[in-house]
Amino acid sequence: MSIELRHLRCFLAVADTLSVTRAAERLHLTQPAASRTLRQLEDALGVRLVDRSTHHLALTPDGVAFRDQAALAVAAFDRALAYGHHAGWPLRLGHAWSAAGADTTTLLRRWHEEHPDTPLQLLRIDDRTAGLARGDVDVALLRGEVRAPGLVTEQLTTEPRVAGLPADDPLAARPALCLADLAPRTLAVNTVSGTTTLDLWPPEARPSSTLTIGNTDDWIAAITGARAVGVTTSATAGMHPHPAMAYVPLTDAPPVPVVIAWRDAPGHPRIPDLVALAREVMG
């Protein structure tokens, strides 16, 4: 049996919902049809993608590894079909938070002026590679170390770290802080796309507890609600000002590298132009 696009779409729906029933509803299939399609894909690949032995469906290690490859294939197919419906071929620039920081507006306006035939779409995607590994975007602005295979990265700049605090917190009135000042507090940690972990502190002086969040909006809500404090970069202070939030420089925290990344494969022909412009604007 040959693998068809419907097999990949079915698997991705199951991987996203972790439910054959919900995947079938999304794809407007019956549950038996979705199960059969998934089984056909596994038989054709010769590997088990989904573990059905528990009450809660889960992806196997092979399923996790195959998910990004399937998403890339589906995204490429959909993009090829959509190409004929656009006056220009949009270039999709992903980011997980803060885009290009203070240079965001300049980058977008310069691109529009210099490449009016190619729309630049700025997309926030809450993912470690801002959707790049899955094929949701063509290029991404990322912060911190990027380990995803198959990506090419170039460092553009670095950003100093700052503490995020409730505006009425006693520490918010200080001109600067050190990491030890935050250690007695609960730390908001973005485990999806953030760059702050407990490893930023010495083992003997780490924050007493953490609050796990998944995106910048939830990070800000946790801090302004006085549930936690946080560590981010200066770009967040510029891109996400909030009347109930204070950003205070950290004197002993290392800066965070900002990189532009793209896939090591044929892609949008304007990627080199965007990389060159980002280098000029942000470098």
- Would you place residue 156 in the very low, low, confident or very high pLDDT band (cuts 50, 70, 90)? very high
H or E stretch at 92: strand 91-95
Residue 243 structural domain = 161-254
Give mean pLDDT, residues 116-133. Answer: 92
pLDDT at 202: 94
Please say which residue of 83, 102, 137 terminates a domain. 83
Same domain, 167 and 248: yes
Distance CA 50, CA 72 (A): 19
- State the CATH number of the domain containing residue 64: 1.10.10.10
Does residue 72 carry a pLDDT above 90? no
Does residue 87 carry a pLDDT above 60? no
pLDDT at 155: 97
pLDDT at 88: 64
Same domain, 74 and 17: yes
Give mean pLDDT, residues 66-74. Answer: 82
Distance CA 269, CA 90 (A): 11
CB 11 within 8 Å of CB 41: yes
pLDDT at 148: 82
Q: How many other C-beta atoms can be found within 10 angstroms of the C-beta atom of residue 159?
A: 21
Higher pLDDT, residue 58 or 84: 58
Does residue 169 carry a pLDDT above 60? yes
pLDDT at 54: 63
For 203-262, the pLDDT digits (tens) are 999 998 999 999 999 999 999 999 999 999 999 999 999 999 999 999 999 999 999 999
Higher pLDDT, residue 147 or 172: 172
Same domain, 267 and 150: yes
Please say which residue of 83, 103, 127 terminates a domain. 83
Torsion angle defined by CA atoms of residues 157, 180, 226 and 141, in that order, rounded to the nearest 10 degrees:
10
H or E stretch at 70: helix 61-83
Distance CA 68, CA 60 (A): 14
Q: What residue ranges in 104-243 does DSSP mark as E strands?
A: 120-124, 139-143, 151-159, 161-166, 186-190, 209-213, 230-233
- State the CATH number of the domain containing residue 270: 3.40.190.10
Distance CA 162, CA 198 (A): 15
Same domain, 150 and 11: no
How is residue 243 written in tokens? 């009347």
Same domain, 100 and 185: no
β 91-95/139-143 pair status: parallel
For the ranges 29-33, 84-88, 175-179, 188-192, the lowest mean pLDDT is seen at 84-88
- Would you place residue 201 in the very low, low, confident or very high pLDDT band (cuts 50, 70, 90)? very high
Look up the pTM and report it: 0.74
Please say which residue of 35, 63, 83 terminates a domain. 83
Does residue 81 carry a pLDDT above 70? no
Same domain, 145 and 278: yes
The one-letter code for the residue type at 234 is S
For the ranges 25-39, 89-103, 178-192, the lowest mean pLDDT is seen at 25-39
pLDDT at 42: 87
Does residue 86 carry a pLDDT above 70? no
- The number of folded domains in the chain is 3
Distance CA 97, CA 132 (A): 14
Does residue 53 carry a pLDDT above 80? no
- Would you place residue 83 in the very low, low, confident or very high pLDDT band (cuts 50, 70, 90)? low
pLDDT at 52: 81
* Backbone region of residue 84 per phi and psi (left: phi > 0; alpha: psi in -120 to 50; beta: other values): alpha
- Give φ, ψ of 21 to 5 degrees: -65, -50
The one-letter code for the residue type at 49 is L
Average pLDDT, the chain: 90
pLDDT at 82: 59
Same domain, 278 and 238: no
Give mean pLDDT, residues 149-172. Answer: 95
